Every structure is written in C-alpha cells, then in structure tokens.
Amino acid sequence: MKLIDVLDIDRIKIPLTASNKTEAIQELLSLFTDQKLVKDYRAVLEAVLEREKIMSTGVGNGVAIPHCKSPFSPAFAIALGIQPSGVDFQSLDNKPAYIIFLLIGPEDKPGTHIRLLSRISRIVSKEEVRDHLLKCSSPEEVYQYLEAQESNFFEINS
C-alpha cells in the first residue's frame, strides 16, 4: 500500500482555511465525510483529538500528522492540507505546521497504520520535499509530486 493508494486528489486541500489545530482537523476530516469514509464524524473527530491530548502530532519542520484508529473508519484514508499561514500544533520544535496529513484507519490493522505514518514521515523528512509541497498550487500538483516521491520507497504490504 502506498500513500497515494489512500490519498485521493479530492482529499487534498490548498489552502486550508483553519486558524487552529481543532479547525484544521475538522476541515480535513470533512473531506472524508464528504466521501463517506467515516461512519460517525463526531466519534472520529473525538478519537483524533484524544490522540492529540496524549502527545501532539506536530512533528516539527512545519509538519503535523494527526491520526487515529477507529471502528468508525472502516478503511485507511489520508487527507492533506496546506495552510500557508501555519497552524499552531504545539509541535516539537514550537513552530507552526504548514503541511498537515490526517490519517484515519480501522482499529484492527495497527501495523498498517504505523507503516503509513512512517511512510508519511520519511517522505516529508526531506526539506526539499516540504519546500516543494508548500509551493504547489493545486491538489493535482501535490498528488503527482507525492506519487513521484513514493517511487523511491518500497510498497507497504497490508
């Protein structure tokens, strides 16, 4: 499984309009509900926010990866938002997040969940990747760029 297998062009939002962490998560989560990828919006939102209480998913370098496993998320799905002004995610480096990936998935596949998180982290760990994503002007451009980046990695088996 590749990121682009669970990240659809319709789930890439440029720009995000959110001005805080909760709004950013809600805005990205709404992209899933529009496509009927969550059975209960409120329950999945609460699961993501509970995960945030444990430890911020603001990983630093302008990136946040909020995520959860939920019985109301029957399949893995990723949404990506770019917020040019940044969102305070209480990141490890105390800097705003500009690139925000939201990952949701079923509770019964924790290994795949972790591998997808790892794959996102590896791709955005490169400064040139982050810089390029911030310069993208359309969901199609982001998708094509991530697709090219993924060609450098092995496929994740579920």
Average pLDDT per consecutive 10 residues, the chain (158 residues; last block may be shorter): 90 96 97 86 96 93 97 95 96 96 96 94 95 97 94 60
Domains of the chain with CATH codes: 3-150 (3.40.930.10)
Is 67 considered catalytic here?
yes
Q: Which tens digits make up the pLDDT trace of 17-58?
A: 999 999 999 999 999 987 789 999 999 999 999 999 999 999
pTM of the model: 0.93
Which pLDDT score is estimated for 158? 46
Rounded to whole angstroms, the Cα distance separating 97 from 14 reads 14
Which pLDDT score is estimated for 36? 81
User: Which phi and psi angles does 139 have, rounded to 5°?
Assistant: -55, -40
- Secondary structure (DSSP) of 31-79: HHHHTT--S-HHHHHHHHHHHHHHS--EEETTEE--EEE-TT--S-EEE
Which pLDDT score is estimated for 123? 94
The tokens for 80 are 């990506």
Per the CB < 8 A criterion, the answer to whether 72 and 49 are in contact is no
Rounded to whole angstroms, the Cα distance separating 120 from 32 reads 18
* Single-letter amino acid, residue 155: E
Q: Which of 11, 13, 21, 67 is catalytic?
A: 67
